[in-house]
Structure 1
Amino acid sequence: MSIRHLDWSPLDRESDPVYADPDVVSAAQKRYALIASTIDDATAKLQKIVGTGTDSLAGQYVQGLKTEAGSLNDRLTKAAVRYHDVANEIGKYEPDLEQGLTETANALTDAEAAKGAQTKANGMPNPQKSSDGTTTPAEQQKATDKSKAQSDADASMAAAKKRLNDALDALNVAGKRFGDAVSARRYDDGLTDSYKDKLDAVMAKISQVFAIIGMILGALAILIPGVDVLVIAGVVAGAVTLIANIVLYHDGKGSVVDVILGAIGLGMAGLGAVVSLVGKGMSSIAKTAALANRPGGADGIELVPLKPPGGPITNFSRPFGPGNPRPGGPPPNFSRPFGPGNTPIKPAPPIRPEPAPAPGPNAAADWKNLSDWFNNPATNWVLGKLGVITPDTGFWASAWAQLKGAGEMWATLLTDPAKFGKDFASIITGLKGPLDLSAIMRAGGLGSISPLWFAWGGLNGAFGLGAGFVYTGGRLMGWIPSVNPPGQVAAS
């Protein structure tokens, strides 16, 4: 940034055309020279270690120390070359900068003088005609003098602008020479960001952003449980984070723990899909069994009680009608033979069965096969080819049903805090799914489920809280350092 706060309008410039402060440039030259000198001192000391004979050193560390010192010495030596070059090239550029500042300042002075001359020339009197309409030689001379003064002033202004442009061109040439001399393309010293370095920087940012997104989605999945739209979004975020962490680890800038935990998390999501399908199959069997034992049987036609007049219910039957004719045809009318004291009687009204009461809630019979996160419009075709059980409800309709279920849970926070606490605790610990499956199997009369279901749920819950929140949050906040293999450097 220029330190010359001047009016550059005479040269048709809004501000100083030279954006440079000689003092700042000089300070930079000294700083680079000092860094170069410091590196030289360091390499000299490292060279002593590398060149020291083994006789003067003892212990198993000797060879490793010499190897590391030699590697560091080579890298510092390469870096020193660039710092020396930069310091030298700045020294060459400084005179050109001073010349450019001087010339542009002189051009401004010339322009100010030319502008004054233009103002003076434009203010000179114009020739006046005599009363008879003629112009005297003296008046003609006025016109000649004014025209010449204007021409000379314009020429001076043009010369001032040319002087400015020439000075800027020369300064640009010097700047390009300086830039070319210290261009990163001329060095292979590890100080320049390569394409891989830039890619790693992008991947590091992607890993950070999607790790935050994954944590947010994980928290929402706990607060609004069972909504598979959140789960699939979390799985996608986890996959993107894992890919970024793998690239960083491959390039020596990522944590091996990030990769391992990310792979485990994604693997558990895939295994969870398989486990979910197994649970759905078991629930479907339990539902079939529950419907078979419910009044009406598996065909869904509910039975109604048969109640003789004035007597208790003795049996059950489906209502007579289409598809269920009365055995033996319509019932006959019965009466005593006509005779004395036996007038014709009116037939008794037919027995009308009373409807059976609605069946009570049953976890198995009432179970609905909702879509999972892996059972979505993008993958349903593939799942269909694999013969996977088809949900009764579509993905988005399932999401709405799942969202309503979460709302019903939160509605019990004030009305039944104990139930809410029990439900919420089962979600956090990962036991909600096994508990639901256990209730469905018992309601279907199929007995209890294996304890491994609860072990699986608990493992999921522990991993989600541990790796999903404690570790990921600690890494993002910098509380947990990255774990790198030997020879790798932790990403900053």
Structure 2
Amino acid sequence: MSVRNLDWSPLDLDSDPVRADPDVVRDAQKRYQHIADTIDDAVAKLQKIVDTGSDSLAGQYVDGLKSDAGSLKDRLTKAAVRYHDVATEIGRYEPDLDRGLSETAGALTDAEEARNAQTKAKALPDPQKGSDGTTSPEEQAKGTAKDKATTDADGQLAAAKKRLDDALGALNVAGKRFGDAVNCKKYDDGLSDSFKDKLDAIMAKISQIFAIIGMILGVLAILIPGVDVLVFAGIVAGAVTLVANVVLYADGKGSVLDVVLGAVGLGLAGLGAAVSLIGKGMSSAAKAAASFRPRPAPAPPGGGIQMVPLRPIGAGGAGRPVPNYSRPFGPGNTPPPRPIPNYSRPFGPGNLPPGRPVPNFSRPFGPPAPNAANQWQNLSEWFNNPATNWLLGKLGAITPDVGFWASAWAQLKGAGSMWATLLSDPLKFGKDLGSILTGLKGAQDLAAIMRAAGLGAISPLWYVWGGINGAFGIGAGFVYTGGRLNGWIPAVNPPGQVATS
């Protein structure tokens, strides 16, 4: 018998009030009874091992085997009690269920008959008055018969609904008896889900969800490199995953490798913040150095000299450019009297001998040549965000020239520029993407900035650091995490713990 598919509208119901399949219930009873019998058989065999004398067994394993067999026997014996109780209570519940199904079906039949009776009662003729305005006894009898038929039909419908309510009430009593008899609180057999078990189930789901989120963010961080919002979100996802994995491992249901790799990942992120500050300090110094290496300005219109004062003229002032006067000095190789230049104030007309070109010191020496150093922007990093800045008291050491959200937009445009070279310059695009995958992009950029400022090469350790991050991101971030989520990589547990997928 399957769940009934009937029209329950005569009882003012939209669906079957008893959604139960007796065949499924009977199969469940047989299954629980089979489990109970299997446990009993296992307990009996374990008891034989426990009761076996040492003469029948030889070797150093005897005592350990008997001890383990005894412990397992005790645990199975406790579990068998619950399975026996469940099988027994299902057997007690089955007749109640059959009765409830029968009674509710009978109530439906009664309700259908009552509805038919109501329809017939309504169809009976009403009493009619005569031409003189009076109602004859025959017509009055018709009215009485119709009223009685209507009342009987209404009573029959009410009785059908009461039969339904009584059947459901009795079935609920049987169900409560069944539930109380096998309530998990009655048993101390280790089969009931404790609060810790429920918490572990929640943590396992959280770990799975945030691991997937972390992988998605990792892919986006490669496709759209350097965007602080994506990196920050990925680190938050990694932190949540680590907390969940720590709880699972503490309860014996997690993998030690999940915890270790998660902790290493967050550790690398934290160390990366410090390394980033060092790199930004070097970049800032290189930018400042580049700004002090200007291009010489073009000669002023109409000729003349453009001299760059290096230090005050006076004794020991060697190395300063000497103006080449256009006429010889006077007799005695001494220049004729002329105004003495006042080097204590800026050069200008009247501050050099007359007739000589006046250097144009009011013009700038020219803008710095465009290069990687003076074009570098001090953008925000993932750790420079409103949340961590508040927690860290907005330390000046991590405050960049461009804020968090403005940096995200600038970084997004930079990623767009990289992808724009996919078709126009695929070789350059491949190099850029390869440097991102291997983690060498930051070191390469820093090296270019330092060279442009003339500050020499960077330490090879920068490339080592980038390579470690790239290898860890691919290995732990994608290969291991993806393998664990798909069940390809099993959990790694210390002795005494059971591995879970």
With the length of structure 2 as denominator, give the TM-score of the two structures: 0.83
On the 8 A contact 1:304/1:317 being kept in 2, the answer is no
Maintained 8 Å contact 1:306/1:317: no
Partner amino acid for 1:403?
L
**1:115, distance to aligned residue in structure 2 (A):** 3.9
Match of 2:157 in 1: 157
* Alignment partner, residue 419 of structure 1: 428
Q: Which residue of 2 aligns with 1:486?
A: 495
Q: Which amino acid aligns with 1:187?
A: Y
Contact 2:368 / 2:374 at 8 angstroms: preserved in 1? Answer: no
> What secondary structure is seen at the aligned counterpart in 2 of 1:209?
helix
Is 1:365 the equivalent of 2:374? yes
Whole-Å separation in 2 of the counterparts to 1:385 and 1:53: 75
The corresponding residue for 1:30 is: 30
**How far apart, CA to CA, are the structure 2 residues paired with 1:308 and 1:30?**
108
The CA deviation at 1:263 is 0.1
Q: Which secondary structure does the structure 2 equivalent of 1:87 belong to?
A: helix
Farther-moved stretch of structure 1 (63-72 vs 281-290): 63-72
Matches within 5 A, 1:310-389: 315-316=307-308, 325-326=346-347, 329-331=350-352, 333-334=354-355, 358-381=367-390, 383=392, 386-389=395-398
* Partner Cα distance (2:500, 2:201) in 1: 9
Cα deviation for residue 455 of structure 1 reads: 1.5
Distance change (3 Å), C-alpha of 1:163 and 1:377: closer
Distance 1:3 1:452, change over 3 A: closer
Please give the alpha-carbon distance, in whole angstroms, between the structure 1 residues aligned to 2:120 and 2:131: 28
- The 1:160–1:293 alpha-carbon spacing in structure 2 relative to 1, beyond 3 Å, is closer
Closer, same or farther in 2 for the Cα pair 1:445/1:491, shift >3 Å? Answer: same
Identify the residue that residue 394 of structure 1 maps to in structure 2: 403
1-structure distance, mates of 2:367, 2:297 = 10
SS in 2 for 1:316: coil
- The corresponding residue for 2:74 is 74
Task: Tell me the residue number matched to 1:460.
Answer: 469
Question: In structure 2, how many angstroms separate the alpha carbons of the residues matched to 1:50 and 1:359?
Answer: 90
Instruction: State the match for 2:47 in structure 1.
Output: 47
Q: Which residue of 2 aligns with 1:343?
A: none
Partner of 1:197: 197
Q: Corresponding residue for 1:289?
A: 289
CA distance in structure 2 between the aligned counterparts of 1:469 and 1:324, rounded to whole angstroms: 67
Question: What's the CA shift for 1:270?
Answer: 0.3
- Paired letter, 2:264: I
Partners of 2:198 and 2:425 in 1: how far apart? 55
CA spacing shift, 1:420–1:195, aligned 2, 3 Å = same
TM-score (norm 1): 0.85
Percent same amino acid among aligned pairs? 73
Q: Quick check: 2:206–2:241 contact (8 Å CA) kept in 1? A: yes
Q: Is residue 100 of structure 1 aligned with residue 100 of structure 2? A: yes
* Equivalence for 1:431: 440
Aligned length in residues: 467
| C-alpha separation in 1, matches of 2:50 and 2:63 | 10
Unaligned 5+ segments in structure 1 are 296-302, 335-347
- Contact in 1 for aligned 2:384/2:398 (Cα 8 Å): no
Cα 1:47–1:326 change in 2 (3 A) is: same
Q: Is the 8 A contact 2:490 2:500 kept in 1?
A: no
* Distance in 1 (alpha carbons) for counterparts of 2:282 and 2:73: 67
The structural deviation recorded for 1:29 is 1.5
Which amino acid in the other structure matches residue 471 of structure 1? Y
| CA RMSD, 1 decimal | 3.0
Q: Partners in 2 of 1:190 and 1:100 — Cα distance?
A: 34
Aligned to 1:471: 480
Instruction: Rate the CA distance shift 1:375–1:329 in 2: closer, same or farther, 3 A.
Output: farther
Q: Aligned letter for 1:150? A: T
Contact residue 367 and residue 440 of structure 1 kept, 8 A: yes
1:93-142 deviation digits (Å, cap 9, x = unpaired): 12222222333333344444444444444444444444444444444444
Q: How far has the Cα of 1:268 moved from its partner? A: 0.5
The residue type paired with residue 455 of structure 1 is: V
Paired AA for residue 476 in structure 2: A
Distance 2:223 2:137 in 1: 102
Which residue of structure 2 aligns with residue 403 of structure 1?
412
CA distance in structure 2 between the partners assigned to 1:333 and 1:191 by the alignment: 109
Distance 2:306 2:454 in 1: 26
Name the CA distance, whole Å, in 1 between partners of 2:481 and 2:184. Answer: 37
Q: 5 Å matches for 1:189-268?
A: 189-268=189-268
The answer to whether the 8 A contact 1:254-1:491 is kept is yes
1:399 corresponds to which letter in structure 2?
Answer: A
Superposed displacement of residue 208, structure 1: 1.2
Q: Match of 1:360, as an amino acid?
A: A
Label 1:188 to 1:359 Cα distance change in 2 as closer, same or farther (>3 A). Answer: same
Q: Quickly say closer, same or farther: Cα 1:149–1:65, change in 2 above 3 A.
A: same
Contact 2:307/2:359 (8 A) holds in 1: no
CA distance in 2, matches of 1:125, 1:385: 92
Note if contact 1:307-1:315 (Cα within 8 Å) is conserved in structure 2. no
What is the CA–CA distance in structure 1 between the aligned matches of 2:394 and 2:117, rounded to whole Å? 91
Change in Cα spacing, 1:87 to 1:226, as seen in structure 2 (3 Å) is: same
Structure 2 CA distance for aligned equivalents of residues 381 and 138 of structure 1:
96
Supply the distance in 1 between the matched residues of 2:94 and 2:284 (Cα, whole angstroms): 84
